[in-house]
Amino acid sequence: MIEIIVDWCKGCDICIHRCPVDALEKSEELNKRGVYPPKLKEENDCTHCRLCELLCPDFAITVTTEEGEDDDKKKKSKLILGGIVNEV
């Protein structure tokens, strides 16, 4: 699950541009800072790699996984320092 504290977002779009599976897009509603925060695309291949959480300069994103959720995806991807996602 991806939680976004929308009013903390400053709209830099780093998360959107760096997501390895292009799972994020701008939302349609302005936040309190006057920018469009990201949201997960309705159809997405998010692997919960946590790259967006790690890169967000304003700590606006938290990625959590429930036990059993996306087990196959988690096995396939592993975040390596530097933001490279490798199959393992």
The site string for ligand SF4 over 5-44 (x = CB under 6 A, - otherwise) reads: ----xxxxxxx---xxx-xx------------xx------
Site size toward ligand SF4 (CB under 6 A) is: 29
Judge contact between 58 and 8, C-beta under 8 A.
yes
The only residue of 27, 63, 70, 74 in contact with ligand SF4, by rule CB under 6 A = 63
Judge contact between 63 and 1, C-beta under 8 A.
yes
Which residue ranges make up the site for ligand SF4 (CB under 6 A)?
A: 2, 9-15, 19-21, 23-24, 37-38, 46-52, 55-58, 60-61, 63
